Amino acid sequence: MFKPKNKNVQLNVRVNQKTKEEAQKIYAALGLNLSTEVNMFLAQTVIDKSSLIPDNIDEARNDVLHNHNLTQFNSVKELEDYISKD
């Protein structure tokens, strides 16, 4: 009997109901469902993993420990404004 090497497993995730419904609408318009989109997101994360990890993890750890090269925000609004200023 043929057994695939990569078995699918179930992943349970808790999300806000409104977020889920809105995301389903967006993905449905693209011909996708949430399961497919989560799989795409996770696959892209695996592909991009090298860009998520700094080249010099010790330097990054030192920056965090000594509060260097960090941007701090006092509210979610400040963070949103910073992100959207591009």
Give the CA diameter of the chain: 59
Q: Domain total for the chain?
A: 2
In tens, the pLDDT along 40-83 reads 888 888 887 766 666 777 887 888 888 887 888 888 888 888 88
**Whole-angstrom Cα distance, residue 70 to residue 30?**
37
Q: Read off the tokens for 53.
A: 């990890």
Q: Is the pTM of this model over 0.75?
A: no
Same domain, yes or no, for 13 and 44? yes
Q: What share of the chain is helix, strand, coil (3-state, %, to 5)?
A: 55, 0, 45
**Whole-angstrom Cα distance, residue 25 to residue 30?**
9
Is 3 within the bounds of a domain?
no
pLDDT at residue 20 in the model: 94
Give the domain extent around 34: 8-53
